[in-house]
Amino acid sequence: MTQVHFKNLGLIDYKQAWDLQQELFDRTVQQKFNNRSLPEKEQLVTRNHLLFCEHPHVFTLGKSGKEEHLLVNREQLKAAGATYYKINRGGDITYHGPGQLVGYPILDLDHFFPDAHRYLRYLEDIFIRILADYGLRGERSNGETGVWLDVGKPSARKILALGVRASRWVTMHGWAFNVNTDLSYFSKIVPCGIADKGVTSLEQELGLRIPMSEISEKAKTYFTEIFAVQLLDD
């Protein structure tokens, strides 16, 4: 069974977590490159990683995003206690903050399947299952990544955002699942570049706060089942 090394980083600065991701990503890509020049018996197996964390208030803009989707200036960012980064994942602008479960899988998809679309669907499946545990129907929205509630209705709202990067079939970046998130921060952006749909959280939908540890354990369980892996605590 494929092994994935797991670590919960807790509340961590965005740039610090990004640097760690990049280090693990670069190491994996380099190992794959090195393996190409080695006989098969001398090749080293690449390691897979899964990082969980929460971030202080931060907005991140993906490669295909538009800067005008950040609706506040630097002074307003500072007043809100938030930072802003342009980053190398796909997608547009999103928000991360306390009460949001962020997951960063650094996986060598050659251990699984070389299919980025299938990979995104697997990530969505994790949270569709979690929502079902709380009596909520999570759905996909045609042409848009992530997980939504009330798709096709005026009340459609997003609860899971996805944004990934892949090179040589190695992934980085990942998901943001709104658990007990302060949704007011989404008013400072056009979330994921989508202006006609809302954003929600598990707390907003259920009317009560769910412990982050409870959601983390569910996410670990369903990640393990869906990707058919063994998680090893780092």
Residue/partner pairs of 73-81 with CB below 8 Å, 24 or more apart: 76/188, 80/185, 80/188, 81/56, 81/57
Q: How far apart are CA 72 and CA 214, in angstroms?
A: 34
User: Nearest Cα to 162, choosing from 148, 144, 174?
Assistant: 174
The 3-state DSSP class for residue 173 equals: strand
Identify each DSSP E strand in the chain by its residue range. Answer: 2-11, 48-54, 58-61, 83-86, 93-96, 100-106, 139-141, 144-149, 157-167, 170-178, 198-199, 229-233
Q: Active-site residue 53, yes or no?
A: no
Q: Catalytic: which of 24, 120, 126, 192?
A: 192
User: Nearest Cα to 158, choosing from 204, 197, 203, 206?
Assistant: 197
The 3-state DSSP class for residue 24 equals: helix
- Total residues belonging to the chain: 234
DSSP string, 47-77: PEEEEEEE-SSEEEE-TT--GGGB-S-HHHH
Query: Which residues carry out catalysis?
Result: 192
